Amino acid sequence: MKLEVTELTKCYGKTRALDALSLAVESSRVLVLIGPSGGGKSTLLRVLGGLDVGDSGQVTINRQPILTDPNALQAYRRKNGFLFQQFNLFPHHTARRNIALPLEKVHGFSPAEAAAMTEQALARFSLLEHADKLPSQLSGGQQQRVGIARAVARPPEILFLDEPTSALDPEMTAEVLELIQELSEAGQDIILSTHEMGFARAVANQVAFVAAGKIEELSPPDELFGSPKSPLCQRFLSRVMRY
């Protein structure tokens, strides 16, 4: 994907979540956002994915500007896939129905088409044995896998993941991280935020360090983790890598 963000600002009341943020990524499969809590990662993901609009500034993805009128924004959103921090499955529907429903209601596939795509997604992510369970009957890692299966059942242009492993124990985290790695190896463009530095380093083509609503540093992972240039980024890494 190619990404160009120019002077993007987004305020919530008096909080400047994004502060004239600029970012240029020429060509990258997986862009990973890291940085301190409250730095603006989720806000940036939401604006890049078309779930929210900035107050000012421009965003161009794959040479297409993201337009802010509601119809264009909805069409843009539909092209992408999302999975955010908390598991956001419908609690009263089975795993299978959770995947099929957006294919029918958002993408307009017939029930038969949606069912075929759903079976494929369930098989691809080894979820067939869990297909008839409700989210409450699945582990956290399994729920995240269903969430990812849903997000890619119809291949999205870009898959946005906001801390996909934040609620998981280490073993389930590994399971979800492997799945994300597989997707990227299969050619899926992904933008994700994470607090898992080892994973960020392993999966990213580019890592952006986001702090105080700005991109403080953008580098390939070995460079950013090996010899960070920005003092803020150095300080952040020396703190989070200590434990």
Q: Where do contacts with ligand ATP occur on this chain (CB under 6 A)?
A: 12, 15, 17, 35, 37-43
Q: What residues line the site for Mg ion (CB under 5 A)?
A: 41-42
| Distance (Å, whole) CA 222 – CA 238 | 15
At residue 180, the 3 state secondary structure works out as: helix
Among positive and negative, which fits the CA dihedral 106, 112, 115, 121? negative
User: Which among 167, 171, 176, 111 is positioned nearest to 149, based on CA atoms?
Assistant: 176
Which does residue 40 bind out of ligand ATP, Mg ion, none, counting CB within 5 to 8 angstroms by kind? ligand ATP
Shortest distance, position 213 Cβ to ligand ATP, whole Å:
7
Nearest residue to Mg ion on Cβ basis: 42
Identity of the residue, 19 or 119, whose beta carbon is nearer to ligand ATP in the bound complex: 19
Sequence-distant (6+) residues with CB within 8 A of 126 are 145
User: Which among 187, 181, 152, 184 is positioned nearest to 165, based on CA atoms?
Assistant: 181
φ, ψ (nearest 5 deg) of residue 229: -90, -40
Identity of the residue, 38 or 231, whose beta carbon is nearer to ligand ATP in the bound complex: 38
Shortest distance, position 112 Cβ to ligand ATP, whole Å:
39
Identity of the residue, 10 or 41, whose beta carbon is nearer to Mg ion in the bound complex: 41
Shortest distance, position 168 Cβ to Mg ion, whole Å:
16
User: Which among 192, 185, 188, 227 is positioned nearest to 206, based on CA atoms?
Assistant: 192
Q: Count each helix (H run) and each strand (E run) in the chain, helices first.
A: 9, 10
Identity of the residue, 46 or 130, whose beta carbon is nearer to ligand ATP in the bound complex: 46
Which does residue 177 bind out of Mg ion, ligand ATP, none, counting CB within 5 to 8 angstroms by kind? none
φ, ψ (nearest 5 deg) of residue 192: -140, 155
Identity of the residue, 225 or 236, whose beta carbon is nearer to ligand ATP in the bound complex: 236
Shortest distance, position 25 Cβ to ligand ATP, whole Å:
18
Shortest distance, position 163 Cβ to ligand ATP, whole Å:
6
Q: Residue 92 burial by CB count (10 A; 0-12/13-18/19+): exposed, middle or buried?
A: exposed
Shortest distance, position 70 Cβ to ligand ATP, whole Å:
19
Q: Any idea which residue has 């580019």 for tokens?
A: 206
Identity of the residue, 42 or 98, whose beta carbon is nearer to Mg ion in the bound complex: 42
